[in-house]
Structure 1
C-alpha cells in the first residue's frame, strides 16, 4: 500500500467500520504482556495512522489501561461484537494505533519490527534481519522504524 492510500477495516460483525489515511507507517508486532492478554494471543499486530485521517463509522465503547511502558492507552471497540479496533496512547495521541488484523487487507501485512520481545512467547522465533527490541524504542527510534528508516536488528 502506498503512502496516501486509504486503509479500510472494521469489526467482526460489521457494526463499526473505519477509513484511515496511510501515512506510510509500517505495521509492527508488540509482544508485551498487556497486548497478549488483551488480544488473547501471542502478540498484537498494530499500525499507526494520523488522527486527522481516521474516520470511524458507528459507535465504539472505550476502556483505558496503563501499558507496560507507563503510557495510558484508551482502547476503542465495537459494543456489539467487542472487536478492539484501535487505541490512543496518551504519549502519541496524534497517531492512533489500529489493530492491523481488523484491516480489510490484513493478510498482506508483515511486521516491520518487533517490540517488547522480553515478554514474547518462547516458541516464537523472530525473523532474522527484522529489528527487535526487548522493551520499547525511544520516540525517535520508534518513528524511524515505523517510517522504514531503521533497518538494523537492535535488541536492548
Structure 2
C-alpha cells in the first residue's frame, strides 16, 4: 500500500498513514454531527505507529456520554479536524475519512449511535450496527 495523506482545508496540517485502517466506522451521535457539519462522522482508525503528523494543531477535548475523552486536533488556520485520539486507546489515531479526499477509500464496516441517525440515511449492506 502507498502512503495516504489526510489534510486540513488549507493544507497546513497533515496526517500521513502507511497502513490500511484497522477499522472504518460511522458515528451518528449529535456531537459528531456538530463537529463535521454533516449528518454523521466517518472516521478511520489506524495504529499510532503507522501515523506521522506534520504541521501545527490546536486541540479540543470532548467528554463522551460514558466519560471517555476524545482529543480532536484541528488546524488553527482553517479549523478543519485532521485527527483525534481517545482515552483508553492510546495505541490508535482516528482520522476523518473526508480529510483524505479519496473517493476510493475503504467503506465503513461499523456504525454507532444509530438511534440518532437521520431517517433518510441508509448504511451499506453488511455493516455492523451498534445502538
> 1:20 and 2:17 equivalent?
yes
Q: CA RMSD in A?
A: 1.6
TM-score by length of 1: 0.76
Q: How many residue pairs end up in the alignment?
A: 130
Task: Name 1:48's counterpart in structure 2.
Answer: 45
| 24 and 18 in structure 1: CA distance in 2 versus 1, 3 angstrom threshold | closer
Shift of 1:120: 0.9
* Between structures 1 and 2, the one with greater helix share: 1
> 1:127 and 2:121 equivalent?
no
Provide structure 2 residue ranges, at least 5 long, that are not aligned to the other structure: none
More RCO (CA 8 Å, sep 6+):
2
* Between structures 1 and 2, the one with greater strand share: 2
Task: Name 1:80's counterpart in structure 2.
Answer: 77
| Of 2, 9, 12, the match for 2:6 | 9
Show CA shifts across 1:114-148 (max 9, x none).
111111112212233221111xxxxxxxxxxxxxx
Shift of 1:29: 0.7
Shift of 1:67: 1.6
Q: Is the 8 A contact 2:48 2:91 kept in 1?
A: yes
TM-score by length of 2: 0.90
Residue aligned with 2:98, SS = helix
Provide structure 1 residue ranges, at least 5 long, that are not aligned to the other structure: 135-156
